[in-house]
């Protein structure tokens, strides 16, 4: 297959997280959908992006007491699906006040549907990101992940 533009490669079934969801709900959502991150929306407006890495980073630096039982559960579920460095600091805080909005990365990278695959790869590489969103008129139309880009690389070899 030849991928010319973002529209050719993007996944259109984009799972979103509401900004007011508690972090534990976000973690369960990501696991249930077998994804490592998702866009965060508030009143249907794209506000940021949250990943398992963001959750792990937050929980490892929050100073909140963490329990080992949920962390062990999540780790077992995630091993083999995600990189070890993404899981090393995973702890699940019992604090229910922390929401996706508190933990998300507010910087969102997006392109339009006609952006070339080369440009998509350059943005992802320069920015050190694992996913970017394809938007039209500020509406999410799709997502392109690092795994999607590997498909392109594998086909070119």
Domain ranges (residues) in the chain = 6-156
128 class by beta-carbon count within 10 Å (0-12 exposed, 13-18 middle, 19+ buried): exposed
Any idea of the CA torsion for 147, 151, 152, 155, to the nearest 10 degrees?
160
**With bands split at pLDDT 50, 70 and 90, how would you rate the model's confidence at 156?**
confident
Q: State the pTM of this model.
A: 0.73
- pLDDT at residue 68, as a whole number: 45
Query: Contact at 8 Å (CB) between 18 and 100?
Result: yes
Task: Please report the pLDDT score of residue 79 as a whole number.
Answer: 72
Give residue-wise pLDDT tens across range 58-96.
876 554 434 444 455 556 666 776 777 666 655 554 455
User: Which two tokens mark 45?
Assistant: 């407006």
The residues, any chain, with a CB within 8 Å of residue 154's CB and separated by 6 or more, are none
The DSSP string of 78-110 is HBTTB-HHHHTT--EE--SS-BHHHHSB----E
pLDDT over threshold 60, residue 140: yes
In what order do the strands lie in the sheet containing 110-111? 110-111, 131-136, 139-145
Q: Which residue has the higher pLDDT, 7 or 83?
A: 7
Q: Are residues 112 and 65 in contact, defined by beta-carbon separation less than 8 angstroms?
A: no
Q: Which fold has domain 6-156?
A: CBS-domain (3.10.580)
- Are 137 and 113 contacting, i.e. CB atoms less than 8 angstroms apart? no
What percent of the chain has a predicted confidence (pLDDT) above 90? Answer: 62
């Amino acid at each position: 297959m030849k991928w010319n533009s973002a529209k050719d490669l993007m996944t259109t079934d984009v799972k979103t997280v509401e900004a007011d969801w508690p972090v534990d709900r976000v973690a369960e959502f990501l696991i249930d959908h077998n994804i490592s991150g998702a866009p965060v929306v508030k009143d249907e407006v794209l506000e940021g992006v949250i990943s398992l890495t963001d959750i792990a980073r937050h929980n490892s630096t929050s100073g909140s007491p963490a329990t080992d039982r949920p962390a062990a559960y999540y780790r077992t579920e995630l091993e083999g699906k995600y990189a070890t460095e993404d899981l090393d600091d995973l702890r699940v805080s019992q604090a229910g006040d922390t929401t996706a909005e508190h933990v998300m990365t507010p910087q969102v990278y997006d392109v339009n549907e006609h952006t070339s695959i080369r440009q998509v790869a350059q943005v992802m590489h320069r920015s050190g990101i694992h996913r970017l969103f394809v938007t039209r008129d500020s509406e999410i139309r799709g997502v392109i992940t690092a795994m999607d880009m590997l498909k392109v690389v594998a086909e070119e070899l």
